[in-house]
Every structure is written in C-alpha cells, then in structure tokens.
Amino acid sequence: MTKADDSPANMVIHFDLKLKNENSAIGLHYPDQLNITFSYFPNVSMIVNLADYKLNSFYQGNGKTRHVRDVVETNSFPRVLEGTDFIVFRVDLVASNRYKKAGTKRHKVELGCLVGVNVTDTTKMQRGFIRLVEPGLDSKLKKKPPPEYNGAYL
C-alpha cells in the first residue's frame, strides 16, 4: 500500500494473488472476468469500497496455479483504526468457472478475507499467505439467510 503520486487523497494497493486448481484430474475454464473488490470498515456498521480489479477470462490446467501480481489505484484513502497504525481491508473475489469437460455447467465462486496493514511500513499484519474463504457477515457478498431464519443479521 502506497500513496499515489498525483493525488493526496488516493493510494495504490499492491497485491499478489495465487489461484490454484487443486483438481489434479481436470482443468478449469473461467469464462467470465474475475472481480476483486478492495474495501475497508470505517466503523462496525459500514463498509466502503476502495477499488475494483478485473481479471480477464482464462483457462487453468489441472493442478496448475495462476499467479497475478498487480497494482490497483483506490478512489479514497481509508482511515486508520483509532489508537493504532493499522487499516483493515476486506478483499472479495467473485468468479464463475466450469470444468474443461464439454457440457458442464458454471459454478459461482465467492471468496473473501480480511487483511490488516500497518500504514507506517506498509506491511501486512499476518505472516505468510492469507487464504480466501467463503464470505461471512462482514462482506458485501452476504449469503441469504436460511429459510427457517426469521431474524436479522447483526
């Protein structure tokens, strides 16, 4: 994470994404663009979209990994958590894929994670890689409540 040169309010986010096809028997085709959204939480009840990144469709062979390193410019600068030097980002990935085998249907993929970044030295809080998982209640990709649930999510 670094500030953009031309605008004091904006910054750029450097990211390193690895997409692994764990199926060793068949390849995957991503027929549509993959959408990656970077956002943050200014408070517990609000999520603010910072940037969107699109990755063009591609084929991924069986057992292969697609590695994407890129930079995305944000449309605002997030606030630091009170009393810390950290910003907590939400990263969401939405895609659809289908197996290489003819006649297979598309499967929707929705994954996300939280990433804490120190604004003074631009390092992430977690060590090593961060696994994207199915989104929780802190995501824009909120799952529909089960039919038997008649309350509200907090």
Domain with residue 105: its CATH number is 2.60.40
Whether 50 is covered by a domain: the verdict is yes
Whether 151 is covered by a domain: the verdict is no
**Burial class of 56 by CB neighbour count within 10 A (0 to 12, 13 to 18, 19+):** exposed
Residue 149: pLDDT over 50: no
Whether 146 is covered by a domain: the verdict is no
Whether 140 is covered by a domain: the verdict is no
Cα 59 to Cα 32, 65, 66, 67, 110: the distances in Å are 11, 11, 9, 13, 18
Closest listed residue to residue 100, CA positions, set 34, 23, 28, 21: 28
Whether 65 is covered by a domain: the verdict is yes
Of 14-23, 88-97, 114-123, the one with minimum mean pLDDT is 114-123
Whether 128 is covered by a domain: the verdict is no
| Mean pLDDT (the chain, rounded) | 77
Domain total for the chain?
Answer: 1
Whether 88 is covered by a domain: the verdict is yes
Whether 133 is covered by a domain: the verdict is no
pLDDT score, position 5: 47
Of residues 134 and 4, more confidence is placed in 134
In terms of residue numbers, what domain contains 105? Answer: 2-118
pTM: 0.73
